[in-house]
Amino acid sequence: MTAYLITNVSVVGAAPTDLLIRDGVVAETGVGLSAPEATVLDGTGLVALPGLVDLHTHLREPGREDAETVESGSRAAALGGYTAVCAMANTSPVADTAGVVEQVWRLGREAGLVDVQPIGAVTVGLAGERLAELGAMADSAARVRIFSDDGHCVADPKLMRRALEYVKAFDGIIAQHAEEPRLTEGAQMHEGEVSTRLGLTGWPAVAEEAIIARDVLLAEHVGSRLHVCHVSTAGSVEVLRHAKARGVRVTAEVTPHHLLLTDVKAETYDPVFKVNPPLRTDADVAALRAALAEGVIDIVATDHAPHAVEDKECEWAYARPGMLGLETALSIALDVLGPQWDLIAERMSRAPARIAGLDSHGLDPAPGVPANLTLVDPAARRTIEPAELASRSRNTPYARMTLPGRIVATFLRGEPTVLDGKAVK
């Protein structure tokens, strides 16, 4: 194992220091360290963060390896500064058995670029009718703790209650895609002034808010942990604030795109901006940013949703919803939050690691801590070229935008996965 000495680096925004990485851990920190056997990386001007953790990634394997594989998605994640990702269950076959979650977990280990923690489906085939084998997935080698039908809502309240009850036994979490399906039939974009003008069927904010309201009450009733995926409206923030004040065990995520983009993008009719939940309004964006700063929303999660060209470069109505996120998330966070490094570390690493129970992640670089970390150059600016992304798909909404920040290096258990901004393998 090679040792690395990162010199003169700011750890989560603090005064510059040296970091010695050896045998998979941060061996030492301090000014003027010397380690003749180590490879020296000049960290001047760079910020070291605990490796980012994504609670919401679509890796598409098994089933749609043309759009992404565990390996290509892992590489995209490492290049984005991530050391762990939670892989959503809406693959083909669905990750609703111990066999499939173990397959995804094993593929993640083989790729060896980030820790891939599979999420299991709540219901068989994401069909919303029968509970999947939650216990078998929890007991499997993948040790699943988060369950989600993401892409679909667990709409049946009785099934949702049963799922919350079931996972309580092992302190599991139900991660809900909050979308009342009857209120979003045929929906193409956010319901509002823009959808009226464009003549597209709208997805009303209340379809999200009604499910979150119901689920926080169910979680309170059962005493279980609920996580709300991709919160997108100001009204959802108010429901979450109320629930947290009551002590409900609820956590919530917001995506980079919901922090930056609005429904006005639909005016282009470019399906790259079609996503579920849809891009909302300026007022929603402002409320989401405030909630993230305040902690009503706990984390930023990418909802990295790669789609093949034929599923995206078509008419808006036929395009699949979703956008890439892993390789741009830190830049968007930096753009939206500014250089608030402690807040960025909390919302993109420590808190998601805590929620997912990934104990060796989300720890600030300090002596004895597993060396899962990333180095960011906050002064760099880069223009996003879809063709240069490591993802197998090209559906980034930030094409040709110039964004702040660049990931210079990422380390997983002391081994670099990214050096000088390039993937090591």
Alpha-carbon distance of 111 to 421, in angstroms, equals 19
Kindly identify the residues of this chain, within the stretch 148-187, that bind ligand DOR according to CB under 6 A. Answer: 150-151, 177
Answer yes or no: are the C-beta atoms of 195 and 138 closer than 8 Å: no
In 43-138 the beta strands, taken as DSSP E runs, fall at: 47-50, 52-57, 82-87, 115-118
Q: Whose Cβ is closer to ligand DOR: residue 26's or residue 178's?
A: 178
Residue 230: both structure tokens together: 């991709």
Site membership for ligand DOR, residue 91 (CB under 6 A): no
The nearest distance, CB 90 to ligand DOR, in angstroms, is 5
Nearest to 55 by CA among 134, 141, 116: 116
Our CB check for ligand DOR shows the closer of 5 and 126 to be 126
Residue nearest to ligand DOR (CB): 322
Binding mask 247-286 for ligand DOR (x = CB under 6 A): ----------------------------xx----------
Strand order in the sheet with 146-147: 146-147, 173-176, 225-228, 250-254, 299-300
User: Judged by CB under 6 A, does residue 347 bind ligand DOR?
Assistant: no
Please list the active-site residues.
Answer: 303
Q: Is 305 in the site for ligand DOR (CB under 6 A)?
A: yes
Task: Between 281 and 372, name the residue whose CB sits nearer to ligand DOR.
Answer: 281
Q: How many helices (H) and strands (E) does the chain have?
A: 13, 19
**Residue partners of 425: CB distance under 8 A and separation at least 6:** 112, 113, 417
Q: Does 370 bind ligand DOR (CB under 6 A)?
A: no
Could you tell me the sign of the dihedral formed by the alpha carbons of 277, 278, 284, 288, in that order?
A: positive
Given 80, 120, 172, 322, the residue binding ligand DOR (CB under 6 A): 322
Q: Which has the closest alpha carbon to 207: 241, 224, 184?
A: 184
| Residue 257 marked as a ligand binder | no
From 36-44, 117-125, 317-325, 395-403, give the range in contact with ligand DOR by CB under 6 A. 317-325
Interface with ligand DOR by CB under 6 A: which range of 39-47, 203-211, 233-241, 315-323?
A: 315-323
Write the secondary structure of 218-271 as one string of H (helix), E (strand) and C (coil): HHHHHCCEEEECCCCCHHHHHHHHHHHHCCCCEEEEECHHHHHCCHHHHHHCCH
Q: Which residues bind to ligand DOR, rule: CB under 6 A? A: 58, 90, 150-151, 177, 275-276, 305, 320-322
Residues making up the annotated binding site for substrate are 58-60, 90, 276, 307, 321-322
